Structure 1
């Protein structure tokens, strides 16, 4: 047995040792990844028939033209990552290769070839942070495969040797392949990158390539279990765009080449995840950016693949708005894939979804509700349960975002740039209760729209399920039991959030204190100006709009605001934001409920509030 084969077998998880493709499987000639030989004609015809897709095609070509004069990429590591270079490699090579295949213009071929030869000359692709290798390999594989027929023998050898030695083979080493057993985005990205590399150099190393593909088919099923049961992606909006997109790249390449997906698309929850992502965007265009997500949204090419699979163009309502927004999407390194996955769906045929509410259980359960898909001033609420122990999670169980009148009133900071923390020695990847991660300002419960009790952190071991919900349009609601997040501080904590009569938002917390006096702090993070207007009210104003925060509590509350500026030098600045809410001291053994009304109009008179157990619920 060859040493490379032995090393690969030893690196496999036990579940992956049964091949999915039989020994001796052959593949067609190049190009074989995503867009087969001769399919350019069909792609050009479909593009020319629709102005929206013609515009996208031209945008990709224009960006490719802009790349022609750029200097070659250099091996510049930022902190412990080469990932920025790897991602730019995908972007440049994917765009330029697409431009060459659809136009045949030599300038695009020559620039892509030069870029790949430069990357091939790197000493390595930084296997100590294997995402860097995975993305570099994927980009190089697409370029090598798509340009193969035009590349010289010398260029073929240089590029394919780099894909094999600096890409695929590095995944055989145990120190580099822990992601094979991971259930998060690393698995999806790394398996996609390695499979693309294997497909690119298949004829050179057919036995090794086949085993890499089979390893990936088996291993990628681990993170795909995280979509159970309804499609909610535990790592949130930003990492959905990462992990799921590469998962789709993986499946799409298999389908194109072998005519089947080996059962991956049918994995429970996977196709449903498109509805999760669509519902995560509010009327303002901002996503529900819990966990390590950025605070902006954008076009997701993978959503077109999902719409084609489900034959449901309404999944693309948000994507349609992005395409019609006039914004430039060409920083997206995977954008050319949208031309391969669009299924010739015309934007004019995309209608809004019929459901105004979406809920998903799983590791990080969520509920999103809105009063309209077409009204930019609609009310939108996204709330979550879950646990700080989930990969990339924050201490934000029970937190929510809220919009009305085109303003996001209740917001989430989302992530802080990893290198900005790591470069200052902050250890952000520990998830134990005493980990330094929870000292980072943006990551703990003190600055999320949830409860803080006795000034303590939420419990990492806690987990908050969504216990009930209702899609009734006059009382959309979801409740989550956050009790276990406050172990030792509260005997009971259940939060319900409702959109009432499509007019306002109600947040109800039912709590029970232990045998000691307890201080409960209720916070809302906002980009608005805040004015305390009474013993139980505050007024938020922004962009000429206003929102009244009104508290109905059984004991006196102290309305407050808190600064969002940290005194630690490693914390990001949070200009233009403030925390508001209140504190309430409750006696030993207290049992009661706190109602907070978020009122877009001052003339709204909130209805009487029932106990959470009496809230109507869907089955």
Structure 2
């Protein structure tokens, strides 16, 4: 083979490899010119009734009509709030996000409820309040949260809105989408009061969403110039893109402009899908609804806009992302909560059913029916999300006629994210992870685990408290909830894990026949830990969990210690045996009394976000090695009593 042919082969191989690695499902489905011809124009894609068609609304909403109206009635006398300048400034001054967010979210909750109530009733009773809510929103300098001004390209010293800069963030795009739906459904009713109302919505959505999306680059789009630096794509991408797409679909009727905007969004959402490794949501199930879930919103809208011509719901990668929500569910509302997600997450059954139906996952649809049966008061209403609420209503009857079934899968293995979930018929469940310490919403927790008995948490991941400036700033890892010392991992030579992409697990593997997950966590620790290798192995057995540690150190400085975070009360009992009691479940932790000394300490939970999940106190159980060995093995056994 001559050199020219070799070069040609290498070029072909590199192109093929790059294409397959990047997926690009959406952009590869058509070019922009083809997309333009697929578009369903002038909002004819909308499959919800016109405002005036009362019979159709009654059929659509069914028995949900009353609850939507009742919720709207709660806001008939609502006093619209002004978000003051000092509310924004408080984030820079104290790190408190809620000072600005609370009045803003209260207003948006009110507007959403009033709009849905008016669509349900159709008598104009809520119209004046809706107009006031629209006006208050339009009068705001910015729809961006004070905590989110960091998305600006400018060097903003304090988190304050700039009238000359229209940024697009999570909630600014959400407000734009809600106002766009208000315009679509009620513009004729607004005109009866004053034509300037509808005109103002058009003006503000165009200025704040449509124009900046096409004329600015945001980090979350992951498009050039950010794409050159291979940005880390997270849930901002589908969340913002889904909202922005609604704005364009509802407000832009120029075919060329719409095609350009939609294709740009397709290229952007491809970056989120490309980032996905194996379907797992590393931000946790609590974020799934605004990560993979927002991707579903986007793909569903795109499918409608193109009459099904652009649809990728048949891709197994999309189905894997969808099914994570039930695979990470343990039962009784408990979920696998690595990273910032809460250990409690209910999930909206209507939304989960709709996503499951789109990817033809019967397991998801049955799981959704199970959630509805567990929480029969759950409504179709999705806070501040008109599109989700109305789509939920369209599948409500189907959900009601679906058999409620939820059985925890015997295992779920995500080889790239390095998440491993295992369960058995005896009611035991373990989740363990490898990963690295720069995942989305990361905690330093490489090698950590959680253990449940009959859907009752025993050994836990605490989660995170209320978000402040410190949560996402340079002092993030000064928070105890982020540190490895407060996760179920070792303290090696007196040294904890470090944050950063290079601090990671290696050689992670899962044996489904032996129900064993193994990972080397040595590289999650900095050099001063002096650790050459530290292999941690979890094996789920019929009566309990076996945890084995095999290590090799380059030096000994301090005795190693193994930390276990527990929800239940700890009884040290006799040496070599520790009882942990949570609710009505009891487990026994067995260890070598010749190797370790056991101590325990209560940890008071002063953060409401944590205490509402765990109560006022959790415990940290510590097993401290009695000798300092360069090479060694530890073994712990957790038995159900």
The residue number in structure 2 matching 1:531 is 571
| Cα gap change, 1:331 to 1:19, in 2 (>3 Å) | closer
The residue number in structure 2 matching 1:615 is none
Whether 1:250 aligns to 2:281 is no
The Cα of 1:45 is off from its aligned counterpart by: 3.9
| Cα gap change, 1:471 to 1:103, in 2 (>3 Å) | farther
More displaced 10-residue stretch of structure 1: 180-189 or 36-45: 36-45
Give the Cα–Cα distance (whole angstroms) in 2 for the partners of residues 469 and 343 of structure 1.
41
Give the Cα–Cα distance (whole angstroms) in 2 for the partners of residues 305 and 560 of structure 1.
49
The Cα of 1:186 is off from its aligned counterpart by: 1.2
Give the Cα–Cα distance (whole angstroms) in 1 for the partners of residues 616 and 467 of structure 2.
19
The residue number in structure 1 matching 2:260 is 211
Give the Cα–Cα distance (whole angstroms) in 2 for the partners of residues 105 and 360 of structure 1.
52
1:195/1:250 contact within 8 Å kept: yes
Aligned length: 557
| Cα gap change, 1:170 to 1:86, in 2 (>3 Å) | farther
The residue number in structure 1 matching 2:636 is 596
DSSP-derived class of the 1:381 partner: strand
Give the Cα–Cα distance (whole angstroms) in 1 for the partners of residues 184 and 435 of structure 2.
42
| Cα gap change, 1:31 to 1:120, in 2 (>3 Å) | farther
| Cα gap change, 1:287 to 1:452, in 2 (>3 Å) | same
Q: How does 1:3-402 map to 2 (within 5 A)?
A: 19=32, 22=35, 27-30=40-43, 32-33=45-46, 35=48, 37=50, 44-45=58-59, 48=62, 54=63, 56=64, 58-75=66-83, 77=87, 79=91, 91-126=109-144, 128=149, 130-152=169-191, 153-172=195-214, 174=216, 177-181=218-222, 182=231, 183-203=233-253, 207-229=256-278, 231-260=279-308, 262-266=310-314, 269-300=317-348, 301-324=350-373, 325-326=375-376, 332-334=383-385, 336=389, 337-340=391-394, 344-346=398-400, 348-353=402-407, 355-362=409-416, 364-372=417-425, 378-402=427-451
| Cα gap change, 1:140 to 1:244, in 2 (>3 Å) | farther
1:31/1:148 contact within 8 Å kept: no
Give the Cα–Cα distance (whole angstroms) in 2 for the partners of residues 297 and 170 of structure 1.
35
Unaligned segments of structure 2, at least 5 residues: 1-26, 152-168, 223-230
Give the Cα–Cα distance (whole angstroms) in 2 for the partners of residues 519 and 20 of structure 1.
66
The Cα of 1:60 is off from its aligned counterpart by: 3.3
Q: CA deviation digits over 1:61-84, x for unaligned, max 9? A: 332232333223533556276555
2:334/2:455 contact within 8 Å kept: no
Name the TM-score, length of structure 1 as normaliser.
Answer: 0.80
The Cα of 1:467 is off from its aligned counterpart by: 2.8
Q: CA deviation digits over 1:187-212, x for unaligned, max 9? A: 11221222222222113x65444432
Give the Cα–Cα distance (whole angstroms) in 2 for the partners of residues 228 and 585 of structure 1.
41
The Cα of 1:517 is off from its aligned counterpart by: 5.0
Give the Cα–Cα distance (whole angstroms) in 1 for the partners of residues 406 and 608 of structure 2.
43
The Cα of 1:131 is off from its aligned counterpart by: 2.2
1:292/1:392 contact within 8 Å kept: yes
Give the Cα–Cα distance (whole angstroms) in 1 for the partners of residues 419 and 55 of structure 2.
43
Give the Cα–Cα distance (whole angstroms) in 2 for the partners of residues 97 and 62 of structure 1.
12
Give the Cα–Cα distance (whole angstroms) in 1 for the partners of residues 599 and 432 of structure 2.
23
Unaligned segments of structure 1, at least 5 residues: 1-14, 49-53, 602-619
DSSP-derived class of the 2:591 partner: strand
Give the Cα–Cα distance (whole angstroms) in 2 for the partners of residues 447 and 179 of structure 1.
31
Name the TM-score, length of structure 2 as normaliser.
Answer: 0.78
The residue number in structure 2 matching 1:443 is 482
Give the Cα–Cα distance (whole angstroms) in 1 for the partners of residues 125 and 200 of structure 2.
20
Whether 1:481 aligns to 2:494 is no
Give the Cα–Cα distance (whole angstroms) in 2 for the partners of residues 170 and 71 of structure 1.
31
More displaced 10-residue stretch of structure 1: 275-284 or 324-333: 324-333
1:30/1:146 contact within 8 Å kept: no
| Cα gap change, 1:388 to 1:189, in 2 (>3 Å) | same
Give the Cα–Cα distance (whole angstroms) in 1 for the partners of residues 566 and 210 of structure 2.
46
The root-mean-square deviation of aligned C-alpha atoms, in Å, is 3.5
DSSP-derived class of the 1:391 partner: coil
Q: CA deviation digits over 1:499-540, x for unaligned, max 9? A: 212x22222222222243553221111222112112222111
Q: CA deviation digits over 1:91-149, x for unaligned, max 9? A: 44444444433442322444434322321122222383522312211222222223234
1:46/1:344 contact within 8 Å kept: no
2:58/2:65 contact within 8 Å kept: no
The Cα of 1:240 is off from its aligned counterpart by: 1.5
| Cα gap change, 1:117 to 1:570, in 2 (>3 Å) | closer
Give the Cα–Cα distance (whole angstroms) in 2 for the partners of residues 86 and 208 of structure 1.
31
The Cα of 1:399 is off from its aligned counterpart by: 1.3
Q: CA deviation digits over 1:247-286, x for unaligned, max 9? A: 2221111112222363543555221122211121222321
The Cα of 1:318 is off from its aligned counterpart by: 4.4
1:185/1:243 contact within 8 Å kept: yes
Give the Cα–Cα distance (whole angstroms) in 1 for the partners of residues 444 and 438 of structure 2.
9
DSSP-derived class of the 1:270 partner: helix
